[in-house]
C-alpha cells in the first residue's frame, strides 16, 4: 500500500475542525495521526473576511500535510437557517480549496461517520469523541469536538474507501 495521507474536515463558519491521518503498510494497515486542530475565524470580522481566513488556513494545512485524499462532512439541514447558510458558505470555500489541491473531495453523511467510528448511526458527540480517542490510541480526547469530528471523518474515509 505504501503511505496514504487523509485530511478530514468538519466544516464550519466560526470553527473548522481538521484532522490528518497517515495510513501505511499492508495487512494490517497502520494508522498514525499526523495532526489535528481547529481553525477559528475572528468573530469581529464580516463574512467575506472570515471565509478568506478559512481559505488561507486550509491552504496552509494542505501545503504542510500534502494529503492524497480530502474528506468532508456533507451538509445537513439545521433548524437554524442562518447557521445553515453560513456553514454552506464555509463548505463552498473548503470544497474549492480542497479541489484545487486534489481534484476530488469525498463526502460523508453524519450518520455514516457515526456508524464508521462508533458503530451507531445515532451516536452523540461524546460517543464519537470516545471512539476517535480509542481508535487513534490517544491518552485523552481532543479538546474540541470539531477536531474530533474531523478525525472521525478521516477515519470514515480510511474505512469506507479501502
> Which strand (E) or helix (H) includes residue 134?
helix 125-135
**To the nearest whole percent, how much of the chain has pLDDT over 90?**
71
**Torsion angle defined by CA atoms of residues 137, 143, 147 and 148, in that order, rounded to the nearest 10 degrees:** 40
- Domain of 22 in residue numbering reads as 3-160
From the candidates 10, 69, 145, 149, which is the catalytic residue? 10
Annotated catalytic residue, options 69, 73, 145, 149: 73
Per-residue pLDDT for 1 more than 70? no
Whole-angstrom Cα distance, residue 151 to residue 141? 11
- Rounded CA gap, 70 and 80, in Å? 27
Quote the pLDDT of residue 162. Answer: 59
Q: How much is the pTM?
A: 0.93
Model confidence pLDDT, tens digit, residues 79-118: 667 778 888 899 999 999 999 987 779 999 999 999 999 9
The verdict on whether 10 is a catalytic residue reads yes
CATH value at residue 80: 3.30.420.10
The better pLDDT of the pair 18, 25 is held by: 18
What would the mean pLDDT of 72-84 be, rounded to a whole number?
Answer: 75
Domain count, the chain: 1
Known catalytic residue at 146: yes
Amino acid at each position: 500500500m505504501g503511505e496514504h495521507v487523509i485530511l478530514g474536515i468538519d466544516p464550519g463558519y466560526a470553527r473548522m475542525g481538521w484532522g490528518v491521518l497517515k495510513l501505511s503498510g499492508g495487512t494490517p494497515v497502520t494508522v498514525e495521526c499526523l495532526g489535528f486542530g481547529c481553525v477559528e475565524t475572528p468573530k469581529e470580522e464580516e463574512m467575506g473576511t472570515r471565509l478568506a481566513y478559512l481559505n488561507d488556513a486550509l491552504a496552509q494545512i494542505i501545503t504542510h500535510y500534502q494529503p492524497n485524499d480530502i474528506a468532508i462532512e456533507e451538509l445537513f439541514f439545521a433548524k437554524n437557517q442562518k447557521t445553515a447558510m453560513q456553514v454552506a458558505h464555509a463548505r463552498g470555500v473548503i470544497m474549492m480549496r480542497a479541489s484545487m489541491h486534489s481534484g476530488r473531495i469525498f463526502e460523508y453523511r453524519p450518520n455514516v461517520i457515526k456508524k464508521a467510528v462508533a458503530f451507531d448511526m445515532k451516536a452523540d458527540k461524546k460517543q464519537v469523541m470516545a471512539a476517535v480517542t480509542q481508535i487513534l490510541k490517544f491518552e485523552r480526547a481532543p479538546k474540541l469536538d470539531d477536531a474530533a469530528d474531523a478525525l472521525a471523518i478521516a477515519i470514515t474515509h480510511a474505512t469506507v474507501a479501502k
